[in-house]
Chains A and B, each alone.
Chain A
Amino acid sequence: MSATADVPARTTPARRRSGSWDGLILLVLALLAWQGMHLYVGEAALASPVKTLTFLAGFLRGPVFWGHFAATLAAFGWALLIGAVGGIVIGLVLGERRFAGDVAEPILAGLYAIPKVTLYPMILLIFGLGMSAKVAFGVIHGIIPIILFTMGAVKTISPVLLRAARAMRLTRRQTALEVLVPAVLPEILTGLRIGFSLTFLGVLIGEMFASQRGLGFLIVNGINLHNVPMTTGMILVIVLFALAANGLLLWLHRRFGGPSATPEHA
């Protein structure tokens, strides 16, 4: 806690401008790398940017793609909803009950470390092929970091904020909603961002191994049918979707994590 930190917390316009230049340069570099990679590994493994984009232009106009896209989106949406709500609630409870939290933390960290793919056969036996297995697989990937971040945030909340709440005679409910939640929100958003990408990963893996629907299925299908532009194109769609989603979450973080997310936590 520094006493005299007059920190200008916002990004300056100049920095934002140079940021968009960086983005453009990055895009060009990525395309060049893609093309270079394509030349190196050959047509049979990776389609060229031009060919992929041409394929996508046609494929996205047809009805097939959107059906699969919707399937992935639905599975992802459910998995994220369950993971986020479940993760935040469990994290809040474990963070508040110090003892339970102390017991649960190493267990969760251990679970987080094991490759979840090893659980896949079990998930399939429980849920069978299809939507629920995909959702379950997304949830087990995403929920643990959300729990861990939420719990960590609650445990490390500055005690003086809670004392201030008592000094202002807030009820338990008011304290939870108006002090605890906003105080931990920036860290929860960080947990959500990580949970988000892991949930997405889980859903896609689920689709690749045991599903007839979704973008993950299309990738594997492309491989089986030697349709390289299809595989490459789906990977591109997934990358763009993930980037867009991450951008949205970053924006949310800046918007609602607020300036509190910047200097004290940085």
Chain B
Amino acid sequence: MTALVQRARMDDTLAEAVGPPPVVSLRAVTRVYPGVKPVEALAPTDLDLNPGEFFSVVGPSGCGKSTLLDVLSGLGRPTSGTVTFNGQAVDGVVPEGVGIVFQEDASFPWLTVRDNVAFGLKHSTVPADESQRRVDHALRFMGLADFAGAYPAQLSGGMRQRVCIARTLVTRPSLILLDEPFGALDQQTRLLMGDELLRLWRETGATILLITHALDEAAMLSDRVGVMSARPGRFIDMVETGWPRERDSSIVSDPRFGEITARLWSRLRAESLRAMGAQGPGGGR
């Protein structure tokens, strides 16, 4: 009996030392967009996402954040390096279990909100009644139940983005990738959407990678924030926030929130200036 308990403890410490295997691993991943003047979007990048963690990426615009999401998800192939998802190599195809929400509105304008959400399960093996249940749940969870019969054109940008999130949620992804999903929203709405994202993260137990240009959003939502350099992008800092799993937007009044945001900004300031310089200040013309 005691031996058994001891044995279990030993396994625990062992697991702690080695850590559970990462959900996603990037090893020396680069991405160059070919062309007359090739664009080096991603410098050799290593990244591990731990199971169940909320990871955010911040960086100046054009630094390669979306490119990172592309190669990480399998939407695009890295120019060199390897990507694995749950130990399996990712190669130009989005693996099952990965859900993606894009920066642009990707809701289907010809489908109602309900049909948009149900589309996520249209080609799955999930039985009809279960699929129905999940759609209902996702609609309620994202506050879309009253708009189930509406078309995206009748909704605001924020609501359409929720439709896209719900469409991804019904597939129960274990890894959710979000590329500046709230970019177009005003500050208040963004904070509230952040709360919903946290709720979703806790309920699903999924690993989340959130790309954002809002430092406060990253500081408030994440377990860990990766700061990217100006193009070609690579990680120049990793900030552990140390927030408890139960958290919401009220932590913005925590002094630590200010510290984290300040650190992110001090890391990014020089990079953002560089990125602006590369494009010409004020865009020229």
Instruction: Give, as a whole number of angstroms, the nearest-CB distance from B255 to chain A.
Output: 33
Q: Is A54 an interface residue (CB 8 A)?
A: no
Q: Could you tell me which residues of chain B, from 82 to 122, have a CB within 8 Å of some CB in chain A?
A: 93-94, 96, 98-100, 102, 104-106, 108-111, 119-120, 122
What 1/0 mask marks residues of chain A from 150 to 185 whose CB sits below 8 Å from any chain B CB? Answer: 000000001011011011111000100011001101
Spot the interface stretch: B21-29, B125-133, B148-156: B148-156
**CA–CA, A258 to B94, complex, Å?**
31
Cβ-defined contact, B109 with A4, below 8 A? no
What 1/0 mask marks residues of chain B from 65 to 95 whose CB sits below 8 Å from any chain A CB? Answer: 0000000010100000000000000000110
Cβ-defined contact, A4 with B156, below 8 A? yes
**CA–CA, A161 to B107, complex, Å?**
8
Q: Given B75, B96, B104, B110, which contacts A158 in the complex, CB threshold below 8 Å?
A: B104
Which B residues are CB-close (under 8 A) to A263?
153
**CA–CA, A183 to B109, complex, Å?**
8
Q: Given B94, B111, B154, which contacts A169 in the complex, CB threshold below 8 Å?
A: B94
Cβ-defined contact, B153 with A161, below 8 A? no
Cβ-defined contact, A160 with B104, below 8 A? yes
Which B residues are CB-close (under 8 A) to A63?
none
Nearest residue in B to A260 (C-beta to C-beta)? B109
Q: Given A161, A170, A259, which contacts B106 in the complex, CB threshold below 8 Å?
A: A161
> With A1-B105, A167-B100, A169-B96 in contact, do A174 and B153 touch (Cβ < 8 Å)?
no
Instruction: Give, as a whole number of angstroms, the nearest-CB distance from B90 to chain A.
Output: 13
**CA–CA, A264 to B98, complex, Å?**
29
How many cross-chain pairs have Cβ atoms below 8 Å apart between A and B?
84
**CA–CA, A160 to B100, complex, Å?**
11
> With A168-B119, A179-B108 in contact, do A1 and B154 touch (Cβ < 8 Å)?
no
User: Chain A interface mostly helix, strand, loop or mixed?
Assistant: loop
Instruction: Give, as a whole number of angstroms, the nearest-CB distance from B224 to chain A.
Output: 24
Q: Is A6 an interface residue (CB 8 A)?
A: yes
Instruction: Give, as a whole number of angstroms, the nearest-CB distance from B69 to chain A.
Output: 10
Which B residues are CB-close (under 8 A) to A115?
none
Instruction: Give, as a whole number of angstroms, the nearest-CB distance from A52 to chain B.
Output: 44
**CA–CA, A178 to B119, complex, Å?**
10
Cβ-defined contact, B102 with A163, below 8 A? yes
**CA–CA, A167 to B96, complex, Å?**
9
What 1/0 mask marks residues of chain B from 250 to 283 whose CB sits below 8 Å from any chain A CB? Answer: 0000000000000000000000000000000000
Which B residues are CB-close (under 8 A) to A166?
75, 94
Instruction: Give, as a whole number of angstroms, the nearest-CB distance from B125 to chain A.
Output: 12
Q: Given A2, A9, A185, which contacts B154 in the complex, CB threshold below 8 Å?
A: A9
Cβ-defined contact, B93 with A167, below 8 A? no
**CA–CA, A1 to B100, complex, Å?**
20
**CA–CA, A1 to B109, complex, Å?**
13
Which A residues are CB-close (under 8 A) to B184?
1, 3
Cβ-defined contact, B108 with A161, below 8 A? yes
Cβ-defined contact, B96 with A258, below 8 A? no
Closest 10 CB pairs of A and B: A260-B109, A3-B157, A3-B184, A164-B106, A167-B100, A259-B151, A160-B104, A182-B110, A259-B153, A160-B106
- Please list 20 pairs of residues, one from A and one from B, whose beta carbons are closer than 8 Å in the complex, sorted by A's number: A1-B105, A1-B184, A3-B156, A4-B157, A4-B158, A5-B157, A7-B153, A9-B154, A161-B108, A163-B100, A163-B106, A168-B120, A168-B171, A183-B108, A183-B110, A259-B151, A260-B151, A260-B152, A260-B153, A264-B153
Residue ranges of B at the interface with A (Cβ–Cβ < 8 Å): 73, 75, 93-94, 96, 98-100, 102, 104-106, 108-111, 119-120, 122-123, 151-158, 164, 171, 184-185
Residue ranges of A at the interface with B (Cβ–Cβ < 8 Å): 1-9, 158, 160-161, 163-164, 166-170, 174, 178-179, 182-183, 185, 258-260, 262-264
18 further A-B contacts with Cβ under 8 Å, apart from A2-B157, A167-B73, are A3-B158, A4-B156, A5-B157, A6-B156, A7-B154, A160-B102, A163-B102, A164-B102, A164-B106, A167-B100, A168-B119, A169-B96, A182-B108, A183-B109, A183-B110, A258-B110, A259-B151, A264-B109
